[in-house]
Amino acid sequence: MWRDLVAWMRFEKAAADRPGPLKARPRPDNPALAEIAPVGPNPGNLRMFAYAPPGLPSGAPLVVVLHGCSQTAAAYDLGAGWSALARRHGFAVLAVEQKAVNNPGGCFNWFNPPDITRGEGEAASIAAMIGQMHALYGQGPTFITGLSAGGAMAAAMLAVYPDLFAGGAIIAGLPFGAATNVRDALEAMRSAPLKTPRQWGDLVRAASAYQGPWPAVSIWHGAMDTTVTIGNAQAAVAQWADLQGLPLTSARQELVDGAVRLRWGGRLELYTLPLLGHGTPIDSRDVGAAGPFMLDAGSGKGRARHTGQRGCRRAAVLAAAHGGGGKFPAAGAAQTARRLTVLAPGA
């Protein structure tokens, strides 16, 4: 069953029928990230990597980055360009890495209740690492983002530790509570569970004693994603719209560089990229490097593919980082968005 999950999330479904060990994850040289020994509790047995640009002021924003299955913290940082963006825009990066002893495919265990419960497992480890980063660099606005299994784990962290985050971005991920075991995880990835917005919201409300205000959430998904289907993005929207008290029908719809954007004020948004499959969109002409699940949108034909490289990085660092109260930078507000991490769509 583990192999089925890993094969599906790596978009190698046929691998489930082949005997033999899983492939070792590549570990590229990444001088930017430094491994730090966790000083707090680490019940999830995760690895901690960090980067802070020279001269970073105390209390600068912190971005927590969670890789996808079969990836490492270093590989995802190089592919998405987070350390380069941190140097450019002035924030710290916490890159958390899964160990094979916890999950044979290097996936965060977003579906395992002991790992997504407040004070337990992997969620508690990530929360403790955030506290360690705050002790090192000062407590500034904190954001979280992740891809695929990392996106689902980012959703879990926003749900069980909403008090830690000003906002976050879920890229090709799943809503919190979509599964509680491996079999359900496989089913959820193929087809999101059917729940009302209230039922999705209640899963988050039950995860902690927190009652709001809730983090701002930006959701990114490729319409051609067959690994984690787009119904999961729609379910995540329903979950956070219910928490924020936002009617689903009140969204403003826009076409932004070929992507369909649904926006509920400054608290929630969904970008659907019609030509994108499963992965994080990048523009390697700017930062990052194309590779497995790192999709070079900037060099492709058509404006629809170009949208994601700006948005996926921008989404994780919202305007709250510099006093925006958790709201997203307005379209065209290039100066504000650059201070956060990346260009706002339409800038």
Q: What is the pLDDT of residue 55?
A: 94
pTM to 2 decimal places: 0.81
234 pLDDT exceeds 80? yes
- Average confidence score pLDDT of the chain: 80
331 pLDDT exceeds 80? no
Specify the higher pLDDT residue, 332 or 55: 55
Distance between CA atoms of residues 130 and 181, nearest Å: 27
Provide the residue ranges of all domains of the chain, joining segments of one domain with +.
Answer: 2-340
Lowest mean pLDDT of 31-35, 298-302, 307-311, 332-336, name the range.
332-336
- CATH superfamily label, 2-340: Alpha/Beta hydrolase fold, catalytic domain (3.40.50.1820)
Q: Mind listing the pLDDT tens digit for each residue in 137-148?
A: 999 999 999 999
Q: What is the pLDDT of residue 281?
A: 59
Specify the higher pLDDT residue, 292 or 202: 202
5 pLDDT exceeds 70? no
Q: What is the pLDDT of residue 298?
A: 55
Distance between CA atoms of residues 89 and 338, nearest Å: 6
60 pLDDT exceeds 60? yes
345 pLDDT exceeds 60? no
Specify the higher pLDDT residue, 223 or 312: 223
334 pLDDT exceeds 90? no
347 pLDDT exceeds 50? no
Q: Mind listing the pLDDT tens digit for each residue in 9-53?
A: 444 333 333 333 344 555 655 668 999 999 999 999 999 999 999
Q: Of the candidates 307, 166, 165, 151, which has an alpha carbon nearest to the alpha carbon of residue 235?
A: 151
Take residue 64 and report the two structure tokens written for it.
């927590």
Contact 210, 191 (CB under 8 A): no
The per-residue b/e assignment along 49-61, b for 16 or more CB within 10 angstroms, e otherwise, is bbbbbeebeeebb
Specify the higher pLDDT residue, 245 or 85: 245
3-class secondary structure for the chain? CHHHHHHHHCCCHHHHHCCCCCCCCCCCCCCCCEEECCCCCCCCCCEEEEECCCCCCCCCCEEEEECCCCCCHHHHHHHHCHHHHHHHHCCEEEEEECCCCCCCCCCCCCCCHHHCCCCCHHHHHHHHHHHHHHHHHCCCCEEEEEECHHHHHHHHHHHHCHHHCCEEEEECCCCCCCCCCHHHHHHHHHCCCCCCHHHHHHHHHCCCCCCCCCCEEEEEEECCCCCCCCHHHHHHHHHHHHHHCCCHHHCEEEEECCEEEEEECCCEEEEEECCCCCCEEEECCCECCCECCEEECCCCCCHHHHHHHHHHHHHHCCHHHHCCCCCCCCCCCHHHHHHHCCCCCCC
Q: What are phi and psi of 92, to 5 degrees?
A: -95, 155
Average pLDDT value for residue range 189-204: 97
Burial of 83 (0-12, 13-18, 19+ CB in 10 A): buried
Q: What is the pLDDT of residue 159?
A: 98
262 pLDDT exceeds 60? yes
Q: What is the pLDDT of residue 316?
A: 39
Residues of the chain with pLDDT > 90, as a percent, come to: 61
Q: What is the pLDDT of residue 306?
A: 36
Taking only Cα atoms into account, the Rg of the chain, rounded to an integer number of angstroms, comes to: 18
Specify the higher pLDDT residue, 63 or 31: 63
Q: Mind listing the pLDDT tens digit for each residue in 128-180?
A: 999 999 999 999 999 999 999 999 999 999 999 999 999 999 999 999 999 99
Q: What is the pLDDT of residue 317?
A: 41
Q: What is the pLDDT of residue 291?
A: 56
Catalytic residue IDs: 148
Lowest mean pLDDT of 71-85, 99-113, 143-157, 292-306, name the range.
292-306
